[in-house]
Amino acid sequence: MKGLRAALAFVGLLPWIRGLANRELHASLGGAIDAAFFALCHHAPERTLVLGGDVMCVCSRCAGLYAGVFLAAVWPWRASPAILRIVLPAGAALMMADILSQDLGLHAPWHPVRLATGAIVGFAATAWMLSEMVGSGRRGRHGDHGEALAG
């Protein structure tokens, strides 16, 4: 579980490290991070945040999503799966509403909304997964203990 949390935190933080430490990173390492994220995001300039004068390697919605993944990975409390089961589709519906209204030309890309909707979905999905995994791990251990006692 600790390894998974570490991997989630690393992945969630990576685009932000790339954006914030852009000038300090070796060019090849920066290029490697870009190459890894190129396959996962369109990062259109008008939909991407600019940090320190350079555009991030992912769009603002994906940046929010990765931030949500990071927050869920380092979140010290176990969130209720029942609540997250509702929060995730609600967040996804908000995100879809923003995507549709933006792509229909009703408004320009709003970075705060893009960040927030991405973060809700990223946090809810990751926290739900971790919460269920902790739950089934506990049930598994209790089950094994029960079987051992019965045996």
Partner 1 sequence: MHPRRFFPAVAIGGGLTGFVLALPILGDVLRCAMCIGVMAGSLLSMKLWLDAHRAENLTPIDAAMLGACSGAVCGAASWIVSVPIRLAFGHALSDFFMERAFLPDFLKVNLRGLYTDDFASIFMSLPLQVVLYGVMGALGGFLGLQYVFSARREAP
- Chain residues in the site for partner 1 (CB under 8 A): 4, 7-8, 10-11, 14, 28-46, 62, 69, 85, 125-126, 128-129, 132-133, 135-137, 139-140
Residue 15 Cβ, how far from partner 1 at the closest point, in Å? 10
Q: Which residues pair with 51 in a beta bridge?
A: 54
Nearer to partner 1, 52 or 99 (CB): 99
Q: How far apart are CA 74 and CA 10, in angstroms?
A: 10
Nearer to partner 1, 9 or 51 (CB): 9
Residue 40 Cβ, how far from partner 1 at the closest point, in Å? 5
Q: Which long-range contacts (CB under 8 A, 24 or more apart) does 99-108 make?
A: 108/46
How many residues comprise the chain? 151
Q: How far apart are CA 76 and CA 46, in angstroms?
A: 35
One-letter identity of residue 121? V
Residue 130 Cβ, how far from partner 1 at the closest point, in Å? 9
Residue 98 Cβ, how far from partner 1 at the closest point, in Å? 14
Q: How far apart are CA 16 and CA 10, in angstroms?
A: 10
Nearer to partner 1, 41 or 67 (CB): 41
- Ramachandran area for residue 53 (φ above 0: left; ψ -120 to 50: alpha; else beta): left
Nearer to partner 1, 119 or 125 (CB): 125
Nearer to partner 1, 101 or 136 (CB): 136
Residue 64 Cβ, how far from partner 1 at the closest point, in Å? 12
